[in-house]
Each structure stands twice: as structure tokens, then as C-alpha cells.
Amino acid sequence: MKSDILLLGLPRAALTAAQYTVSSSAPSNDVFDSYMSYSIEFSSFPDFAGNKSQPNTFSDALLNNIGNIIGTKPYIRVGGNTQDYALYNASLPYAINGTFDSKRSADYPTTIFIGPSYFESYSTWKDVKFAHGFNLALGGNSSVGWQTLLDTVPLACKALGKGKLYWWEYGNEPDLFSTSAQGSVRPSGWNESIYVAQWLNGTKAIKAQLQTYCPKLVDNDTYGYLAPSFGGVNNHLKEPATWAAGLNVNGDIRLISTHNYISGASSPGVTLQGTLMNHTVTKRSVDAHIANYNKIKAIDPSAPPLIFGEHNSLYNQGKPGLSNTFGAALWGLDFNLYAASVGIKRVHMHMGTNYRYASWQPLTPMGTRAPYYGNIAVAAALGNLIHRPSTVVEILLNSSTSTAAAYAIYTARGSAVARLLVLNMNSYNTTVDGHGLDPLPAAEVPARPVADYTFIIPGDVASAGDKVAVRRLWANGSDAVTGITWDGWSYNYELDKGRPVRLGNVTVGERVVVGEGGVVRVGVPDASAVLLSF
């Protein structure tokens, strides 16, 4: 279905009267290639990737979708809490042996042994770069952990040769080692100086093993780390203090990696509207990392760029009815574009098998989850520009609401505006109790309000009478967990195993006409997003 008439039949309510002027260019703040990337839980990686005899082609199809849109497939960071539980067993006849302890975590094993075949999983996805996470929690203070480090460096480097290596990582969230809810692995006296000493000692050993087994991976363009991979900005250890203590004394940290979650899955007061579909909360969460990074830059003006090496909605693997809904897809779109606008160079959204916030479930019952559609929209906003990568600028909306956001996307170095993205994050619930499962009777579903946004586009971008392409991120409501589309495309496993399928019951091919003076007006229903392409 195609239409030049926007949102025929939808009621317009609470119209936004203000006009927003869009600059023809912007200061250069380009994101990195593969901006929309992933972090996969160490213990779940064989599930997501498969092995040589049974590669996970569903996961690969979903990665290909993003790569085809944005220009390069996502980079994969393999790590998380379980990287610091993993020990090596050379005689293990399969990839991983994990034992669950519900007192520590019901979501992932906390006693883990990996065998040689674990590293087969790095061979199943073509054109993907990987960061492999080594075990610092046990490697830094036990002989068996240290031996695991020495034994697995050769296996990892041989698996990641020939252009597959992103960077290395040594330790996950060491700022929580002495306070972790899953059990502390360092005493209360754990501090930045001790951490730095252990990290430097371990990375020295990693480099020595690389020189022996994979000497080509110690060149300046192939050797380096994501670090410090802290869990946040307000935990026991602080990133600026580790930098001051000499964490990068060897100059081998290529990207400063930090982690972020908006709140906890079981934190009081967490709601879809108030916590996730809330631009003010998102900005506050991201801005805390920028402030921290600026402290590092004050210590070292040449500090590496900043990325989110792991992030998602709610820590402890998310919450049903929140992290797995369409509202979480809108949150992810807003979060990732806002992060790009303030200087985050790449984002890795974290997931694991059966995690509530995962973008897809890799094993039976296989399925594409709602957050994936937000990932696709991020890729569509940034990808396939004539000059890649791109610069993102937030358009400050004249409103006291926290439920709307808008972004201008520019070609490389901010040279020319190419797209506008607008989010309306007012909730619109269409299921019983808002859990996204049981639909309300049609008679009880309220009319869906539409907010109008008006932008003034520079004359060198569009002239009066030009038509601007419109693509929409859409579902029946913010609480929906199924029936989600991007520009009419579905990526459901059931349709074509994750490959894109165009649905016939969704309006696509929409256009808005540019008015005199470069005026562009677009309607955005509650709980949806729209991308305008010039």
C-alpha cells in the first residue's frame, strides 16, 4: 500500500504547533562504522553463533539485515559476567559446560568450563569482527584462572586471525568485583591502583602469548583492548581514577568501553512510560558517561574514543512486559541516536539466551524480539548515505514533555543533512494489563492520537514541491510484543527465518510534500517513530 496522504483516518490530537529549523550542515561528530553493534553473553555465544557443523543461520540473517542497511555488519563483543567465570578444560568434548546456581543467578551459569570447540563459534558468521573477553576475575587472583588465560590466548588468536579481530578485552565490570550481587571476587580493599596493576600484568601475558602464537596480531594496527569495561559511573571503582593510575600507560587501549543500563529489572517504580519511553531519563543516563569521559580527557587529552561496550534497558537481563515490548524498541532507537549525538562512537546492545531484553532468541523457540526493530531503525537512520559514516544532531523540541525526541542525520563530517527522525513516545496500550500478550477487545481500544511536527528544511536540501520519503517504526501499541514492522518489513523467524518480508497490510511508500519556505510537516502517532529521507 502506498500513499502520499499522511495517516489517512487517524485522529489528530494534541498537535505540536512549533516549527523547528534544521541546519544544512553541522559540526563533524561522525559515528564509527558498524555503529549499531552487539554484545553477547560469553556463556550464550555458542547458542547465538552455533559451530562449524551447525552454524546459527537465523542469527546470521539478522546480522546481515543490519549490515545491508548500515553498510557493515555489527561488531560482536563476546563477554559479560560469565567471561569472568569461564575456566578452560582442554579435554571437554563440547563447547561449554555451565552449572547454574539460582542463588547467584537464574539467567546464566556461574560455574563454567569451556573446551577447544568453544572457539569454533567464531567461524560461523562471515564479515563479522569480534572482541573476545578474557577472565580477569579468576585470572588475576588464582593459578587456575591464570592458566586459563595462558591456554586460551592461542586458541582465541588463531580463531580471530585473518581480519576477524575487533580488539581484546580483559575483565568485565571490575568496578563491581568487590560488591557484586552474584558474589564478590575481590576484598573490600579493592581499588583502582590494584586493578590497574592486575590489568597490566594480565595484558602483558596476553601480548607475550600473542607474540609466540599469533605474531601478526601484535602489530600496531591489530593489537589493543576495549577497557576498562566498567559497569557504570557510580560504582566502587571510578574510570578517571584508573586512568590517572596508569591504566593506559602502554597506549594499548583503543576504545574506552563503558557499560550502561537505565535501571534495574526489579527496581521500584520502573515503568515503560516513566523509565524507558522517557527522553529525559535517557539523556540523564547517557550524559553521566559523557561527564565521566570529559574527566578522563582532562587527565589525558589524547584519550581514545568512547563506546558503550555493553548496554541495554534494565540490568539483570530485563523485565517481561517492559524490556521485550515495542516501547523498548522505541527506547533503544532514542537511546542509541542520542548517544551518537553526544559523541558515543559505537554501541553494543547486550543479550543472552532467554534474556528478556534480547533482540532475538537464538534457540527454540527461536524468535525476533521487539527490540530488534529499534536496532533496524537505528541502522536505517545512519546507513546507506553517499558518504559514510554520519553525524547525528539532536533537534531540541520546544516542549516540557519527556515523551518526544527528534534527530537530524548528516552525511560524513556533518557536511549535509540527509534525514530527520522523530519519536513520539507517549504510551498507547492495546493489551490487557499492558503486558503485550492478550489483545483488548476492539471496542475498548482508544483512538490513537497523532502529534504533528513541522520542520524548516534548508533550500539546498529540498525545494517547494519536492516529495520527502517517509518510513515508520510501527506496532499496534507500546505494549505490543508481536506484529512490529519497520517500513512495512517484518523480520520474524516464522516468515523467512529472519530475512526481511514485506507485509501487505501496512502502509508504505508514503511521501510528504515540501511547502513554501522549506516547510515539512509530518504526523507521528503515539508510540511510533518516523524517518524522513531527503
Torsion (CA) 190, 44, 339, 182 in degrees, nearest 10? -30
Q: Do the beta carbons of residue 122 and residue 114 sit within 8 Å?
A: no
Residue burial 284-299, b: 16+ Cβ < 10 Å; e: rest: ebbeebeebbebbeee
CA atoms of 141 and 236, how far apart (whole Å): 19
CA atoms of 231 and 241, how far apart (whole Å): 15
Q: Do the beta carbons of residue 102 and residue 140 sit within 8 Å?
A: no
Which H or E element spans position 380? helix 370-382
CA atoms of 210 and 225, how far apart (whole Å): 13
The answer to whether 120 is a known catalytic residue is no
* Catalytic member of 192, 239, 394, 516: 192
Task: Give me the residue label for grid cell 582465541.
Answer: 156
The answer to whether 310 is a known catalytic residue is yes
CA atoms of 350 and 347, how far apart (whole Å): 9
CA atoms of 237 and 225, how far apart (whole Å): 19
What single letter denotes the amino acid at residue 358?
Answer: A
Residues contacting 203, CB < 8 A, separation 6+? 168, 170, 225, 250, 252
Distances (CA, A) of 481 to 315, 384, 422: 20, 28, 22
Q: Do the beta carbons of residue 152 and residue 112 sit within 8 Å?
A: no
CA atoms of 443 and 441, how far apart (whole Å): 5
Torsion 193-195-196-198 (CA) sign: positive
CA atoms of 525 and 521, how far apart (whole Å): 13
* Catalytic member of 120, 169, 239, 310: 310
CA atoms of 313 and 324, how far apart (whole Å): 10
CA atoms of 461 and 447, how far apart (whole Å): 35
CA atoms of 184 and 175, how far apart (whole Å): 11
Residue 101's SS3 state is strand
Active-site residues, by number, are 192, 310
